Amino acid sequence: MRVLIISDLHANLEALNALPSDFDQLWVLGDLVSYGPNPAEVIEFVRENAAMAVRGNHDQSVGFDEDPRCSARFRTMAEETRRYTRSVLSEEHRKYLRNLPLKATMAVEGTYFLMCHAVPSDPLFEYRRADSPLWLADDVGTAINIELVGHTHVPFSRRLETRLVVNPGSVGQPKHGRGEACYAIWQDGKMSLEFVAYDVERTVEKLRRLSLSAGVFDDLAFVLRNGSVPSVPADSSD
C-alpha cells in the first residue's frame, strides 16, 4: 500500500498537479483553501481522490464564514483571500468544507494513524513546532502508531517513545525555505518526506489577476517563490 499524505494545499492547483499520481490512497490534513487562486478545483480534486480528509482552520473559516485566527502577519492575507475564496465557491463546496471531520483514524497493514490539521487537543488552531515538549503529552490512545499533523507548513518527523509524529509540510504554500510542494509517502512500513518543484510563476500570475491589494499580492508571491515570509514573527501561525 502506497499512501500519499498532504496538507495545506491552499488552493494551489499547480502544486497539487505536480504531486505523484501513483498512490493507492490519498490522505489530506486540511486547509484546502485560502491564499491561492484555485479553491474550487482543489476541493474537487480532494473530493474525487481522497480516501480521507480532515478540516483545517481555513476550511473552517471559509465554510462557516469565521475568523481563521491567523497571526497579525498573516491576517490581511487571510482575510482578502477568504473573501475571494467565498465569492467563487458554491454552497455545495462550502458545505463540503463544513462537513470535513476535525480528526480521523486510518489503518494500513496493522499500522494505526491519527490525522488532524493542528494537534489532537486543538485540531484547528494550535501552532506547535517540531521540538515542542507538548507532543509528549498528547492523549492519542495506546493504539495509535503515527500522528499526522499539518498547519505549520514546515515538514518534520519526530520519534517519540510510543509513536511517530509526522508533518508532511505544505503543498500549496511551503515554508521550508524553497518554492517546492511538500508531501509524505507511507509505503512498506516506512515514512518519507518528499518535495517536488512546480510552476510557481503560473500560480503567481493567477494571483496577479485577482483583486488583491499590492501588499498582499507581494507577500503571497514572495512566500511561493522563496518558501518563507519576510520579517515573519517567530510565534506566527497560519
Give domain status of residue 234, yes or no. Answer: no
Is residue 130 within 8 Å of residue 158, measured between CB atoms? Answer: yes
- Let me know how long the chain is: 238
CATH code of residue 222: 3.60.21.10
Domain that holds residue 102: 2-226
How many angstroms separate the CA atoms of 58 and 62, rounded? 6
Render the burial of 75-85: b for 16+ CB within 10 Å, e for the rest. eebbbbbbebb
Is residue 181 within 8 Å of residue 195, measured between CB atoms? Answer: yes
Number of C-beta neighbours around residue 52 at 10 A: 18
Mean pLDDT of the chain: 95
Q: How confident is the model at residue 235 (pLDDT cuts 50, 70, 90)?
A: very low
> pLDDT tens for residues 160-198?
999 999 999 999 999 999 999 999 999 999 999 999 999
**pLDDT of 154 higher than 90:** yes
How much is the average pLDDT of 1-5? 98
> pLDDT tens for residues 78-129?
999 999 999 999 999 999 999 999 999 999 999 999 999 999 999 999 999 9
**pLDDT of 2 higher than 90:** yes
How much is the average pLDDT of 128-137? 96
Centroid of chain to Cα 51: 16
**pLDDT of 237 higher than 70:** no
181-to-9, 46, 97, 169, 177 alpha-carbon distances in Å = 9, 16, 22, 8, 11
Amino acid identity, residue 64?
F
12-to-5, 128, 142, 229 alpha-carbon distances in Å = 16, 24, 36, 17
- The residue ranking higher by pLDDT, 14 or 232, is 14
Q: How confident is the model at residue 72 (pLDDT cuts 50, 70, 90)?
A: confident
Give domain status of residue 231, yes or no. Answer: no
Give domain status of residue 233, yes or no. Answer: no
How much is the average pLDDT of 129-146? 94
Question: Quick one: pLDDT at residue 236?
Answer: 45
> pLDDT tens for residues 29-54?
999 999 999 999 999 999 999 999 99
Centroid of chain to Cα 180: 14
Question: Quick one: pLDDT at residue 74?
Answer: 87
Give domain status of residue 75, yes or no. Answer: yes
Centroid of chain to Cα 10: 7
How many angstroms separate the CA atoms of 112 and 41, rounded? 30
Give domain status of residue 232, yes or no. Answer: no
Give domain status of residue 196, yes or no. Answer: yes
Give domain status of residue 235, yes or no. Answer: no
Nearest in space to 116 (alpha carbons), one of 144, 151, 68, 141: 151
Q: Domain count of the chain? A: 1
Question: Quick one: pLDDT at residue 234?
Answer: 41
Question: Quick one: pLDDT at residue 238?
Answer: 59
Render the burial of 170-205: b for 16+ CB within 10 Å, e for the rest. bbbbbbbeebbbbbbbbeeeebebbeeebebeebbe
Give domain status of residue 61, yes or no. Answer: yes
